[in-house]
Every structure is written in C-alpha cells, then in structure tokens.
C-alpha cells in the first residue's frame, strides 16, 4: 500500500467508498443492512515488515511499489503502525548501523507488537549467524527492551523468547494469548476486539456444541466457548495449535478441545470416511457431540468444495472472511441451504481495498430449502 493512500482526515469517506464497492453484491444475496466497525485512522497495525537497504555506510527501511519491484522507496515514518513500532523503528536502525556484526548482510526486519505493549523483532540475514551475532544482538535487545530473533537459511537464533503475550478485552473480560513468531495473528488489535465481540453476541443464544475450523491460536475460540457446551477447534499449524492449547490453559477454559487437523480432514472425519489419531484424545466420539454451529475464518481462498458441503449440514454458521470476493462466492452456494441473518464489515486494513467481513447464517427449514 503506498503511504500516499494514508489520509486520516478522509478516513470515513475512504471507508464508505470501500464498503460501497461490495455492498450491492451482498444485497443481491438478500443480506441485511451491515454493521460497520471502523479502525483508528492511524497507529493501528501491530505487525510490520520492511526490507533493509544498504547504500555504502547508510542503512534504511524500504518498501517496493507493486508496479516497480526494483526501485526501493525509503520509509522514514510509518504512521499506520502502532506507536510502539513507530518509536522503535529509528532506535533499531541506529543500533544496526552502529554494529558491523548486526548489519552485515541483513536484508529484512519484521516487527510484532501487542496492544499490551510486548514487542518482538526478527532480523533476517543472507549469512550464517554465529556467537558474535548472538552476543551483540543480546546487548541490543536489552538496550531497546525488546525480544529479538535472528534468522537465516535453515537457522533461527532466539534472544530470550520467540513470542509475545497479548491481552484482549472482550465484553469486559480479559483474555490472554501467547502469540508465537510465524503464527498468524490479527494485525489490527482494536478491530479484532470488535470482531470477537460481534461474533460472541450472535453466538450466545445458539447453545449446543461448536466446531471451529482454522482456529489459529484460539483468537475466537476462547471467548466464544462460553456460549457453547463443548467446542472442538481444529488448526493445521503445529505452532499455532500448541499456542492455542497453552492459551486455553492460561485462560482456565475447560470446555474446548483442540486438534491439529486440516479443514478437509475434519470434513472427512465427520463424514465417517476415515478415523484420525489426532482426534483420539477427544472426550467423546464425534457422533456424540451436538455440533449444531460451525465457525470458520478461512484463508483468502475461502472454503473449498468439501468444506462447503460440510458447512451446509450445520444449523448455524459464523463465517469470518478476509476476502469479500471468495466469501460472496461461498455464500452463493450456501444460500440454497442457509439465509444470511447478520452481516458486518470490519476495517482491519484501512486505506487498502481489503475488507474483513462477518456473516451469521441460519439453516433454512426444509420447506424453504432450494
């Protein structure tokens, strides 16, 4: 995204234009009037990454335009990043410039911050990182009061720890999350809290048991667990699944069970096509759960055909989407079995064309099903 797109004084108008570009497609599916959740106009991103550009003895953060991948654009300030990242950026750059060991063949840096102020920086290199790097990196991490990781091909060196700890407040209750490096986390913490609260509001009256696919570190899982008797949540990433289980324990939630399984494999398990050892730890057989609600937060590609077929069997679907186009395509299939009861837009990515959506679907009665 070109930084010239960042226009805080025109934020509301820009968001309205973005919503208008997709709204008619949802209306064509008989969706109700959407609820809209805006973002802070500045300082909203908790993640950022930059290439590091060497020019003699100078070193700068740079980005590249989508239409010109060869010409670096120097980034002197980054107003969409949270204040902690904005403050750290020049201090980190000064620290790298001051150390030949730390700057030698570095080519990228990644920032991961939390609303609660925890900060992790990853430095990525085109060389092997030895003990000399570790010693100087440890000094810099202490000086800047951050967690620091060094990466190169097939190598990872950790100064202290490779995660941050987040605290989100959902309807007056605090939830604590371990967020590991390289596990997906929502980039806009303020909007994320709105997303979870919105989903919880519509989950409360549903009852029964919940199946969640693509659960990540338990972002939605843990707050929504209070609305259901039992929750089965699946995630393919080993790192994210381990973090989700730790987060469950940290928040003292007892009715959630996690399984490291893809959405496709979970569909096969529920259909009885095959048994999976990764489900053997569940306290009941799958058939003994009252899985009447499905929660999905899939990648940009949306739901595949097999998972769509699975979704069609649920009474209720809570669908969170980062891609309106694939969501609309999926809804065009699900409209034959479900009606859209609620719609929401969440501006996770201000000043871009990306728009996060939330949809609550209710299964039609047999007499109204196409």
How far out from the chain centre does Cα 283 lie?
Answer: 29
- How many beta carbons lie within 10 A of that of residue 57, not counting itself? 7
Please name the residue that has the structure tokens 């959902």. 170
Buried b (16+ CB within 10 A) or exposed e, 181-208: bebbbbbbbbbbbbbbbbbbebbeebeb
Q: C-alpha angle 347/353/356, rounded to 5°?
A: 35
Residue 75, CA distances (Å) to 72, 83, 94 in order: 9, 16, 14
CA distance linking residue 111 with residue 50, whole number of Å: 9
Residue 369 φ then ψ, to 5°: -75, 130
Is 356 catalytic? The answer is yes
CA distance linking residue 300 with residue 330, whole number of Å: 12
| Cβ proximity of 217 and 240 under 8 Å | yes
| Catalytic one of 113, 181, 356, 357 | 356
Please name the residue that has the structure tokens 């990466």. 151
Is 322 catalytic? The answer is yes
| Catalytic one of 322, 341, 357, 366 | 322
CA distance linking residue 313 with residue 133, whole number of Å: 55
Active site residues: 322, 356
């Amino acid at each position: 995204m070109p930084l010239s797109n960042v226009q805080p004084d025109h934020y509301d108008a820009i968001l309205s234009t973005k919503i208008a570009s997709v709204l008619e497609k949802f209306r064509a599916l008989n969706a109700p009037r959407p609820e809209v959740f805006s973002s802070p106009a500045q300082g909203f991103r908790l993640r950022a990454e930059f290439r590091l550009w060497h020019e003699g003895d100078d070193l700068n953060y740079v980005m590249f335009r989508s239409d010109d991948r060869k010409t670096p654009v120097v980034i002197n300030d980054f107003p969409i990043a949270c204040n902690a990242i904005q403050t750290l950026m020049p201090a980190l750059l000064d620290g790298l410039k001051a150390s030949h060991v730390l700057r030698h063949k570095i080519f990228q840096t990644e920032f991961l911050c939390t609303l609660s102020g925890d900060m992790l920086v990853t430095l990525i290199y085109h060389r092997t990182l030895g003990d000399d790097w570790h010693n100087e990196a440890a000094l810099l991490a202490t000086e800047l009061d951050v967690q620091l990781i060094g990466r190169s091909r097939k190598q990872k060196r950790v100064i202290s720890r490779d995660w941050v700890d987040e605290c989100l407040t959902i309807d007056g209750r605090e939830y604590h999350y371990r967020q590991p490096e390289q596990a997906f986390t929502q980039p806009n913490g303020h909007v994320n809290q709105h997303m979870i609260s919105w989903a919880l509001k519509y989950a409360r009256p549903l009852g029964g048991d919940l199946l969640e696919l693509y659960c990540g570190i338990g972002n939605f899982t843990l707050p929504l667990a209070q609305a259901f008797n039992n929750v089965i949540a699946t995630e393919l990433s080993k790192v994210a699944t381990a973090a989700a289980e730790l987060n469950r324990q940290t928040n003292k939630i007892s009715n959630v069970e996690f399984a490291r399984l893809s959405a496709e494999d979970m569909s096969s398990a529920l259909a009885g096509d095959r048994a999976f050892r990764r489900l053997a730890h569940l306290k009941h057989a799958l058939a003994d759960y009252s899985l009447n609600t499905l929660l999905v937060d899939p990648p940009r590609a949306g739901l595949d055909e097999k998972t769509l077929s699975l979704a069609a069997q649920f009474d209720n679907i809570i669908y969170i989407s980062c891609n309106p186009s694939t969501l609309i395509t999926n809804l065009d299939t699900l409209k034959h079995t479900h009606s859209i009861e609620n719609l929401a837009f969440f501006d996770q990515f201000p000043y871009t064309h990306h728009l996060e959506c939330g949809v609550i679907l209710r299964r039609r009665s047999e007499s109204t099903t196409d």
